[in-house]
């Protein structure tokens, strides 16, 4: 094939692809917009320190973090039951702060977490 023939074949290909792309864009433009909403949930808990070894404390902190992640996993399920057609978890943050020696408060852990989700309304 000569260079001129390649040029003609390429131009013909572009001419055939253009209308197909335009049809797809038009179909998306005519579809009703889906309303997307950002949802943020904050969690604050206190867990009493049961004492014990540093290994016990590490296990307790692990259980606390796990519980926050479980809450995050179930939050999309709850939103789908009530208001969301689709849900995507964007961020999860957790902060565990040990509270000790502050009388009259109990020794334990202050837990704060934040979930940010993106939903599409029903």
State which fold the 36-121 domain adopts: Translation Initiation Factor IF3 (3.30.110)
- Reported pTM: 0.64
- Quick one: pLDDT at residue 122? 94
3-class SS of residue 46: strand
**Cα separation of 39 and 96, whole Å?**
23
The domain segmentation of the chain, as residue ranges, is 1-31, 36-121
Residue-wise pLDDT for 35-82, tens only, equals 999 999 999 999 998 787 889 889 999 999 999 999 999 999 999 999
**Cα separation of 40 and 31, whole Å?**
28
- Quick one: pLDDT at residue 75? 96
**Cα separation of 5 and 80, whole Å?**
56
Rg over CA atoms, the chain: 27
């Amino acid at each position: 094939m000569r260079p001129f023939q390649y040029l003609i074949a390429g131009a013909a290909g572009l001419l055939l692809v253009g209308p197909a792309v335009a049809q797809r864009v038009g179909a998306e433009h005519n579809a009703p917009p889906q309303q997307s909403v950002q949802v943020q949930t904050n969690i604050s808990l206190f867990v009493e320190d049961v004492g014990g070894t540093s290994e016990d404390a590490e296990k307790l902190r692990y259980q606390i973090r796990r519980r926050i992640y479980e809450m995050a996993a179930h939050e999309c399920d709850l939103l789908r039951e009530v208001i969301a057609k689709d849900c995507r978890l964007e961020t999860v943050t957790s902060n565990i702060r040990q509270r000790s020696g502050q009388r009259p408060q109990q020794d334990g852990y202050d837990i704060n977490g934040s979930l940010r989700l993106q939903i599409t309304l029903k």
